[in-house]
Chain A
Amino acid sequence: MADHLLEVDDLRTYFSTEEGVVRAVDGVSFTLDPHERRGVVGESGSGKSVTAMSIMGLIEPPAGNIVTGEIRYRGRNLLALSEDEMQQIRGGQIAMIFQDPMTSLNPVYTIGDQLVETIMLHQHVRKGEAREIAAQSLADVQIPKAGQRLDDFPHQFSGGMRQRVMIAMGLSCNPDLLIADEPTTALDVTTQAQIMDLMLKLADDRGTAVMLITHDLGVVAGFCDTIQVMYAGSIVERGNANDLFHDPQHPYTWGLLGSMTRLDETDKHRLNSVRGAPPSLIDLPRGCRFSPRCDFATDLCRQQLPLLRPIPGTVQEAACHYSEELDLKSIAVGAAG
């Protein structure tokens, strides 16, 4: 498609620490279309959040640096924009929702103040109008008595309610892209589903594309059109949600799927885990970064880094030398190796 909303091209975001350079995002490229719902999945430290922060321009030097790459939003390279221009994009065209709603709101202001602040930063409206928009966006996220609750402080809201406020804030300026960084991780399971439903419904109504970052495959399965799986700073597999779930092409995706608790399986077996731990991002393994944990790794894997490539016979792309040979969907996790 010619008109991508967002194109990320060979993004590399490194952090310098006393132990060495942490390659948190190391060569990530992807595109996102308008209205798309993209799930970004991976373990902690796989570079999901850093990718999001890079897009938002929230990587702070001197510790963190985007060393190469381009992030084009509607054709404009965000990395070349000035801080002022970037402030217009943030919150206005690309909004972000954070993981912990308990700490994402400023405790000393009422939520009305905070909504109005964001609205007035991006829309040319007077305070009274901004307040009306704020009340409306609170009503949109189904907060009862929205008009009155504008004058409440964050501590007077529950966790789920606060996340609704964050969603209201994120969507209040009708952004084209909403990046949600584990928006439901801090909430209990019943609230999670409500919040996800609400967020995606509102995004749909507004035609907002969503980039949902999560380590919860269950959440992505239900809500996303396309999925990219990240491991150790790069994308190891991507494709549309259905195919990826039923026919994983990368052993890591396969391992992740195998470690999900599934309610539709009747036979009792041990819950699997992907053995080992993610590699140190300072000292990445030679060859395929997943090879030390992979059940199928060969010498080739340990020598040569596989690139993300379309896998013939499927609609996915994966970064594995053996995607064609391995028929992962027919191997039960835990049976091999």
Chain B
Amino acid sequence: MTDRDRDPDGVGLGGIDAAEGISDEPVTQWDLFFTRLRRHRLAMLSAAFLLFMVLLSFVVAPLVTCEKNVDPCDKVFYHPETQRRDATGRLLVNIGPRDGIVLGTDEVAHDVLSRVVHGGRASLLVGLVTGFIVALFGTVVGSIAGFYPGPVDQALMRFTDLVLGLPLLPVAIVVGRVIQDLPFLPPWMRGGPWGIAFLFGFLLWGTLARIVRAEFLSLREKEFVEAARASGASDRRIVFRHILPNAMSPIIVQTTLIVGTAVILEAALSFLGFGVPPPTPTWGGMAQSGAGIAARGFWWELVGAGLALVLTVLSVNFIGDGLRDALDPTQTIERK
């Protein structure tokens, strides 16, 4: 039975008519949340696209890619570092889209389609891991600052101001260089997508911390928090059950914005030549080399990487939109 069968006009509260049969399972807020989210078409479409990109670059691509320098390739994708050659062994440099080379080749004869697909791994990893770190760190710092006014709040917020005051790209470039030589860091954190994600994470949590603190400051004075206290709720219960859930929508929206920002920042860093070092493909790196040759009419690398980048960031932002609407219980359910 589809959703439509149960709810023909699409205006009912999803499964809420289940309450007519008294003993039925109660409709939880999660049911309502998912019902609302499902109704948000753009968000669902975006989620599908993002899921597709994640699956494609993390799961599918490694499975259907040839080993390096295997040419001709019997799988779907050439290895992103394989240089394509024609039958006579000449490098196919800056070849436009054609049969067998869907998105053409770049300046050094790499297959652009393969690089777009594999490049998603670095970009998405940076975006998602940064988002996770920011959500965790920003929420914790903001919550503590907002819930314990006075010296704790002051200390945390001045620290936040300090982090927010750092010029992002220069610091990322310098620190990104410095951490490459730090012996106490595990090698995977010294550079590459993980290193960049952690770096961005620790540079970008400030805004979220401020937002969360502001939410806490306003929510802790609300009557329902007072009422919860008056009915015997502990501090922990008040924070986790009464304040945090009410602050969820700004947290989620800000986090999705950060995911988008981090993907773009990684691209910017790669564009400037300080990102994930070549020949590992990243969208930003490709946009950079693509921009250099686009003026000469070789547009495919720039367009391929740029489209992947823009669509990914857009869909992340739409998902944030949908989540925010779905998390607001006062929002009436309607199709969008």
Contact = CB atoms under 8 A, between A and B. Distances in A.
Nearest to B18: A151
B81 to A, nearest CB: 50
Contacts of B27: 151
A109 B29 contact: yes
Interface in B1-21: 16, 19-20
A83 B236 CA distance: 12
Contacts of B230: 56, 58, 90-91, 95-96, 98
Interface stretch (A99-107, A217-225, A290-298): A99-107
A80 interface: no
* Chain A CB within 10 A, most for which of B224, B241, B330: B224
A109 B19 CA distance: 17
A91 B329 contact: no
A152 to B, nearest CB: 9
A302 interface: no
Interface string B230-241: 111110000001
- Contact size class for B? 20 to 34
B237 to A, nearest CB: 8
A194 to B, nearest CB: 21
A106 B229 contact: no
A118 B246 contact: no
Interface in A78-114: 83-84, 87-92, 95-96, 98-100, 103-110, 112-113
B232 A98 contact: no
Majority-rule SS of B interface residues: helix
A266 interface: no
B119 to A, nearest CB: 40
A103 B223 contact: yes
Nearest to B31: A151
A155 B330 CA distance: 7
Given A98-B223, A106-B242, A147-B22, A153 B329 contact: yes
Interface in B241-257: 241-242, 245-246, 248
A169 B231 contact: yes
A121 B22 CA distance: 25
B231 A95 contact: yes
Nearest to B23: A147
A62 interface: yes
A167 interface: no
A118 B232 contact: yes
A309 interface: no
B232 A166 contact: no
Given A87-B232, A91-B230, A117-B241, A106 B246 contact: yes
Contacts of B334: none
A118 B238 CA distance: 12
* Chain B CB within 10 A, most for which of A84, A99, A148: A148
Given A108-B245, A151-B16, A151-B27, A89 B232 contact: yes
* Chain B CB within 10 A, most for which of A99, A106, A148: A106
7 contacts: A89-B232, A90-B230, A104-B224, A108-B245, A113-B29, A147-B22, A166-B227
Given A87-B233, A148-B19, 13 more contacts: A58-B226, A84-B234, A92-B232, A96-B230, A105-B224, A108-B248, A109-B241, A117-B241, A121-B231, A121-B233, A147-B22, A153-B329, A155-B329
